[in-house]
C-alpha cells in the first residue's frame, strides 16, 4: 500500500471510530436528560459494548501498519500540515489505546453508567454512604488505568494526559500553589466588601426563553444545537451541527442559570468552530480540555459579566422581569452578579473564589488516587479544606463532596483543566481585545461576531495542530502565565 492510500485508510478508520464514539455521547446525553431510572443497568451494558467496540477499532493492528507506512513518507514532511498533525496525534492515541485491555475499558464504561446513576440518587438523598462503594470502585479502576498506561513520576500524570496532553502534576502543583497564595488574601480582602444582592422571582420558563435568546444573539443557532433541563449544566458534542446543552435554573437567582448558559455556549462555539472538513480526525478535534474550558470561561466571565454586554441586554431583561428589576439600576445588577462571596457550590462560584474550589478537588483526587485518602474519609477532608481555603464549612455532603458528577463518571484528573482554562482565558481575551477591540464597545452594540471570528481564526480552526501552551503563545504572543488572571481579577474586583 502506498502512503497516500495508507493515509486515506487511516482517516477513514478515524472517522468511523468518531462516529461510533458519537453514538456513546448521544446515549450519555440521553441518560442524563431523558432516560428513566430503571434503564440504568441496560444503559450500562450499552455503554460497555460501545466502549469495547471503539477500543477494538482503536487498537486494530492494521493501524500500526498504516501509521508506519505514512510516518516514513514525504506526507509528514511539514510538521504543521493537516496530514502530519493527524498522523502524529493518531500515533499518540494508538500507542495509548493499545496499553489498555478491552475488559478494563468495558468495565470502566459499565461502572461509569451505574455510578453516575448511584451518585444522582445518593446526592438527592444526601446519602454519601450509598455512593461510597461506587467511589471506591471508580478510583480502583482509575489506578488500574494509570498503571496500564504507565508513568514516569506519579499515577496522576497518566490520567492527566487524557485531558491536558503534556501537562504533569509536577507542573500543576507549583502553579496551583502560587495561584492559591495569591487568591486567598484577595478573597479575604473582598469578603466583607459591600455588594448588593438582587432578590426576586425569576420564573424559570421566562429565564429559559430570555437566556436562550441571548445565546442565539451571540451566534448559537437552533439548527446547530438544542437546550434542555438537566441535573447539572453540561455541553455534549454529538457531531457536526449537533451540540446539546443541558442547563438548570433557580427561580430566585437569575445569574446562576444565565451564567451557565454563557459557559456552555462557549463550549459549543469551540466545537462548532472546528473545521467540519476535518471531523473525525485530530485536526477536527479540540486540543485539550484546558483550552475548551478557556472558551467557556471567556464567554461566561469576560463577555457575560462585562459592562458593555449589559448595556445592550439589561433594558430587555428589566422589562422581562419588571417585578424584580424595575427599580434596580444596571450598575446595581452588575455588582450583584459580580459580587465575591465564598460559597459551597463550584458551578455557582464567583470568578475570584472559583479556582480555590478546583484546587481543593485537585488535592483530594490526588490523595484518593494515591491511596493517601479513603473514600470513607472524603467528606471530612472536603470540609477541612473548604474551611482552610474558603473559610466556610459544608453543612452536608450534598453541598459538599457529592456536588460534582465528575468522579462518578470516572473523570479523574479532569478538574485541573478548569483552572487552566481560567488562566488561558484571561490571556486570550486580552489578546483579542488588543487585536479587534475595544470589545466592550462591540458588546454594547450587540456585536459578537468580531470576537467569535477572532477565536475561530486563532483557536478553533487549528484543532490539535499545536499543544495547548503553543496555541496560547501563538494566539497571545506570550507563554501562558497565571499573572494575567490574577491581574485581571484584581483590576476588575478590587
Instruction: With CA atoms as reference, report the closest residue to 369 among 149, 180, 176.
Output: 149
Query: What's the confidence (pLDDT) of residue 133?
Result: 97
Residue 342 has pLDDT above 80, yes or no: yes
Is residue 192 very low, low, confident or very high in pLDDT (cuts 50, 70, 90)? Answer: confident
| Partners of residue 491 on adjacent β-strands | none
CA distance 129 to 180: 31
Contacts of residue 74, defined as CB under 8 A and 6 or more positions apart, other chains included, come to 3
Instruction: With CA atoms as reference, report the closest residue to 208 among 190, 228, 223.
Output: 228
CA distance 101 to 141: 12
Q: Cα angle at 455 between 237 and 421, to 5 degrees?
A: 70
Pure H helices in 150-279 = 155-160, 169-191, 204-218, 254-273
Contacts of residue 125, defined as CB under 8 A and 6 or more positions apart, other chains included, come to none
Query: What's the confidence (pLDDT) of residue 40?
Result: 87
Residue 195 has pLDDT above 90, yes or no: no
Query: What's the confidence (pLDDT) of residue 119?
Result: 95
Which residues are designated catalytic?
264
Please, what is the average pLDDT of the chain? 94
Is residue 197 very low, low, confident or very high in pLDDT (cuts 50, 70, 90)? Answer: confident
CA distance 149 to 61: 18
What are the residue ranges spanned by the domains of the chain?
3-150, 156-494
Query: What's the confidence (pLDDT) of residue 1?
Result: 81
Tell me: the pLDDT tens digits for 201-220? 999 999 999 999 999 999 99
Is residue 302 very low, low, confident or very high in pLDDT (cuts 50, 70, 90)? Answer: very high
Of residues 70 and 339, the one with the higher pLDDT is 70
Residue 183 has pLDDT above 90, yes or no: yes
No. of H helices and E strands in the chain? 21, 3
CA distance 434 to 167: 28
Q: Are 298 and 428 in contact (CB under 8 A)?
A: yes
Which cell goes with 322? 419588571
SS (H, E, C) 329-381: CHHHHHHHHCCCCCCCCHHHCCHHHHHHHHHHHHHHHHHHHHCCCCHHHHHHH
Contacts of residue 44, defined as CB under 8 A and 6 or more positions apart, other chains included, come to 109, 110, 111, 112, 113, 114
Map residue 412 onto helix, strand or coil.
Answer: coil
CATH architecture of 156-494: Orthogonal Bundle (1.10)
Q: Cα angle at 75 between 95 and 62, to 5 degrees?
A: 40
Instruction: With CA atoms as reference, report the closest residue to 235 among 425, 29, 463.
Output: 29
CA distance 35 to 41: 11
Tell me: the pLDDT tens digits for 410-463? 999 999 999 999 999 999 999 999 999 899 999 999 999 999 999 999 999 999
Tell me: the pLDDT tens digits for 351-387? 999 999 999 999 999 999 999 999 999 999 999 999 9
18-23 long-range contacts, Cβ below 8 Å, gap at least 24? 18/279, 18/280, 18/281, 19/239, 19/280, 20/50, 20/53, 20/54, 20/57, 21/50, 21/54, 22/238, 22/239, 23/50
Q: Calculate what percentage of the chain has a pLDDT beyond 90.
A: 89
Query: What's the confidence (pLDDT) of residue 314?
Result: 97
Q: Calculate what percentage of the chain has a pLDDT beyond 70.
A: 100
Is residue 76 very low, low, confident or very high in pLDDT (cuts 50, 70, 90)? Answer: very high
- Under DSSP, the state recorded for 477 is S
* Mean pLDDT (whole number) for 33-51: 90
CA distance 22 to 86: 19
Amino acid at each position: 500500500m502506498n502512503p497516500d492510500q495508507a493515509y486515506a485508510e487511516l482517516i477513514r478508520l478515524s472517522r468511523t471510530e468518531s462516529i461510533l464514539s458519537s453514538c456513546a455521547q448521544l446515549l450519555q446525553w440521553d441518560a442524563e436528560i431523558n432516560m428513566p431510572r430503571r434503564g440504568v443497568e441496560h444503559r450500562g451494558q450499552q455503554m460497555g459494548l460501545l466502549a469495547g467496540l471503539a477500543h477494538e477499532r482503536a487498537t486494530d493492528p492494521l493501524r500500526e501498519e498504516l501509521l508506519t507506512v505514512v510516518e516514513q513518507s514525504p506526507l509528514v514532511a511539514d510538521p504543521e500540515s493537516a496530514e502530519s498533525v493527524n498522523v502524529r496525534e493518531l500515533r499518540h492515541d494508538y500507542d495509548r489505546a493499545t496499553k489498555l485491555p478491552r475488559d478494563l475499558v468495558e468495565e470502566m464504561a459499565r461502572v461509569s453508567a451505574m455510578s453516575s446513576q448511584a451518585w444522582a440518587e445518593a446526592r438527592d438523598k444526601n446519602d454519601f454512604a450509598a455512593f461510597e462503594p461506587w467511589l471506591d470502585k471508580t478510583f480502583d479502576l482509575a489506578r488500574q488505568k494509570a498503571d496500564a498506561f504507565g508513568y514516569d513520576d506519579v499515577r496522576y500524570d497518566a490520567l492527566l494526559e487524557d485531558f491536558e496532553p503534556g501537562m504533569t502534576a509536577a507542573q500543576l502543583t507549583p502553579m496551583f500553589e502560587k495561584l492559591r497564595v495569591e487568591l486567598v488574601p484577595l478573597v479575604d480582602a473582598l469578603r466583607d466588601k459591600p455588594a448588593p444582592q438582587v432578590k426576586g422571582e425569576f420564573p424559570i420558563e421566562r429565564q429559559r426563553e430570555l437566556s436562550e435568546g441571548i445565546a442565539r444573539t451571540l451566534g448559537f443557532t437552533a439548527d446547530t444545537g438544542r437546550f434542555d433541563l438537566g441535573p447539572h449544566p453540561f455541553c455534549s458534542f454529538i457531531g457536526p451541527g449537533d451540540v446539546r446543552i443541558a442547563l438548570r435554573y433557580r427561580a430566585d437567582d437569575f445569574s446562576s442559570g444565565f451564567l451557565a448558559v454563557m459557559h456552555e455556549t462557549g463550549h459549543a462555539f469551540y466545537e462548532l468552530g472546528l473545521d467540519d472538513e476535518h471531523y473525525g480526525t485530530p485536526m477536527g478535534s479540540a486540543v485539550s480540555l484546558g483550552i475548551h474550558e478557556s472558551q467557556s470561561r471567556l464567554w461566561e466571565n469576560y463577555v457575560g459579566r462585562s459592562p458593555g454586554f449589559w448595556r445592550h441586554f439589561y433594558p430587555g431583561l428589566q422589562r422581562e422581569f419588571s417585578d424584580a428589576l424595575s427599580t434596580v439600576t444596571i450598575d446595581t445588577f452588575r455588582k450583584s452578579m459580580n459580587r465575591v462571596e465564598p460559597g459551597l457550590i463550584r458551578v455557582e462560584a464567583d470568578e475570584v473564589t472559583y479556582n480555590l474550589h478546583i484546587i481543593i478537588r485537585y488535592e483530594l483526587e490526588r490523595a484518593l488516587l494515591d491511596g493517601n485518602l479513603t473514600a470513607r474519609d472524603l467528606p471530612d477532608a472536603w470540609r477541612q479544606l473548604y474551611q482552610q481555603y474558603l473559610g466556610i464549612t459544608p453543612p452536608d455532603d450534598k453541598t459538599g463532596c457529592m456536588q460534582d458528577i465528575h468522579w462518578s463518571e470516572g473523570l479523574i484528573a479532569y478538574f485541573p483543566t478548569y483552572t487552566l482554562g481560567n488562566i488561558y482565558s484571561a490571556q486570550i481575551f486580552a489578546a483579542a481585545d488588543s487585536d479587534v477591540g475595544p470589545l466592550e464597545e462591540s458588546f454594547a452594540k450587540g456585536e459578537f461576531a468580531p470576537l467569535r471570528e477572532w477565536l475561530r481564526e486563532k483557536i478553533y480552526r487549528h484543532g490539535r495542530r499545536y499543544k495547548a501552551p503553543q496555541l496560547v503563545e501563538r494566539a497571545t504572543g506570550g507563554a501562558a502565565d497565571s499573572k494575567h488572571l490574577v491581574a485581571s481579577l484584581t483590576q476588575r474586583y478590587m
